[in-house]
Amino acid sequence: METPVFLINGFLESGKTTFISETMKDPQFKNAGNVLILMCEEGEEEYDEINLAKRNVSILPVEELSQLKPEFLKQLDVFYHPDMVMVEYNGMWKTEDFLDLEFPDNWMMGQIITLIDSETFNNYYNNMRSFFADNVRFSDVVICNRVDENTDKLFMRRCIKPLNRQANIMYETAEGIDSSEVEEVLPFDVNADVIEIEDDDYGLFYMDAMDNPSKYAGKKIKFKGMMFYNDKIPKNSFVPGRMAQNCCAEDRTFIGFLAKPPKGKDVSEYVLRGWYNIEAEIKVEFVRMYKGKGPVMYCTNITPASSPEEEVVYFT
């Protein structure tokens, strides 16, 4: 029988201990069997070990990531016989290092859940952005807790989504969990005859078009992008786009859409990494590079353009 491993991520005092404790009290976990909690970080909140023990929950402190060697994990499996493993991860450790660990054969990675304290979000995001990015990048679920009427949920979403478009974002208020999507406020008119994207708005357009491709199906678009093509892109296709920065200069990546040149044109006629004004009609199609359906630009006109004043895209 497989043993699911749940990684609970987040900075110190983000609510990880409380989340795990409340999860263990949930009726649906009443018959979870033996649960092993690996406590990799100790904050102000403490586990009620006596009551948790009554629910067959064992807690084991882990002070260094290097402790989690294959032999050690196998010993835990033999000694505790866990039916589920909850890992209260240290927010200063790299998530990827945990994902590279060699588990016992019957252990399997379940979900990665990241907790964010909305009250301290700005401080961590501004001063420890690379650590924040690492916490969020691999998460299946991101829970923003301690949310109130003063919380800028849209700003938080714009910080999280570029790092991990697939993450399910939830907002926890005093009344409970709110999993409804925050409506994006777009700085351009989606219903215009031709949607014109200003240079500074490309990042929001990219994020919204990739998240909601059907919204743009059949729409005409005009934007400025850098020309990119190589042997890995489908024949006589290209990707116009921009460099984007999520957290730091080392984290820059190229974001763009699959595009087809105007009829009778070949991509080789355009300068690689040159800047162009793109006019196109958007269709929604299955694209391998998207790993599903997404917007494809069928260009009607491509003309040379000067580079934008700021070549790198930011999302906030």
Task: Tell me where in the chain the CATH 2.40.50.140 domain(s) lie.
Answer: 195-313
pLDDT of residue 161: 87
At position 97, the amino acid (one-letter code) is: D
Domain 195-313 has CATH 2.40.50.140: yes
pLDDT of residue 121: 92
Answer whether 274's CB lies under 8 Å from 302's CB. no
- 142-186, pLDDT tens digit by residue? 999 999 989 999 899 988 988 888 899 999 998 888 767 777 789
Task: Tell me where in the chain the CATH 3.40.50.300 domain(s) lie.
Answer: 3-178
Would you say how long the chain is, in residues? 316
Residue 59 burial (10 A CB sphere; 0-12, 13-18, 19+): middle
* Residue 205, phi then psi, degrees to nearest 5: -65, -45
How would you write the pLDDT of the chain (316 residues) with one tens digit per residue? 899 999 999 998 899 999 999 998 887 777 778 999 999 998 888 999 999 998 899 999 999 999 999 999 999 999 999 999 999 999 999 999 999 999 999 999 999 999 999 999 998 888 888 889 888 999 999 999 999 989 999 899 988 988 888 899 999 998 888 767 777 789 999 999 999 999 999 999 999 999 899 999 999 999 999 999 999 899 999 999 999 887 666 678 899 999 999 999 999 999 999 999 999 999 999 998 888 999 999 999 999 999 999 999 877 6
The full DSSP string for 157-176 is: HHHHTTT-TT-EEEEEETTE
CATH homologous superfamily of 3-178 equals: P-loop containing nucleotide triphosphate hydrolases (3.40.50.300)
